[in-house]
Amino acid sequence: MKTLTIALVAAMLLSTNSWAGDASGECSTQMLAGRWMFATEVGKQTFFPGGDITAIGTFRVDRAGNLKGKFDATVANLRFLPGVGFFGTVTVNPDCTGTLTFTTEAGTTRTDSIVVLSGAYARGMSQDVAFLWTYDMRRL
C-alpha cells in the first residue's frame, strides 16, 4: 500500500505543469497567483519635480488577479518614498501578454503592459508617457 501511495503521488507531481498555466501551455491570470517582487530600471518621469525614478517592492496576487503590495521609490533630486502601499488588478491573455493596473495610496493610478515569460518571471512597461520605465517581476 505504501508503494502504491508513493507511486500515485509521484505520478500526480510529474503530470503537472512546471507552472500554473493551462495544460495547453497558454498563459492565464491564475498562473500569477502568489507572492512577487519587482524592481524597475531607472525610469524617466515628468510627473514629479526632480528627475529619474526607480522603485522596488513586493506584492501578492490572488487567483482572480487582484493585487496588493508596497514599494519604495526614489525620485532623483527630490526624495525617497518608503513603504508606498498600492492595490490593483492584473490580467493575462492566453498569448502571455497582459496589463497590470495599480493605484497607490496617494491615489495615483497607472496601467502597464506586461509579458509573462514563465510562471516565475514577467517583464513590464509603463503605458504612461509621463513615466517611461520597465521592470522585472519575479515570484518569491
Q: Are 59 and 72 in contact (CB under 8 A)?
A: no
pLDDT at 52: 83
Whether this prediction's pTM lies above 0.95 is answered by no
Domain 2-139 bears CATH identifier 2.40.128.120: yes
Average pLDDT over residues 96-106: 97
Query: Taking the domains of the chain in order of start, what are their residue ranges?
Result: 2-139
The most confident of the ranges 15-19, 28-32, 50-54 is 28-32
Average pLDDT over residues 10-38: 67
Angle at 79 between CA 74 and CA 84, to 5 degrees: 60
Per residue, the 3-state secondary structure of 6-48, as one string, reads: HHHHHHHHHHCCCCCCCCCCCCCHHHHCEEEEEEECCEEECCC
Angle at 125 between CA 38 and CA 127, to 5 degrees: 130
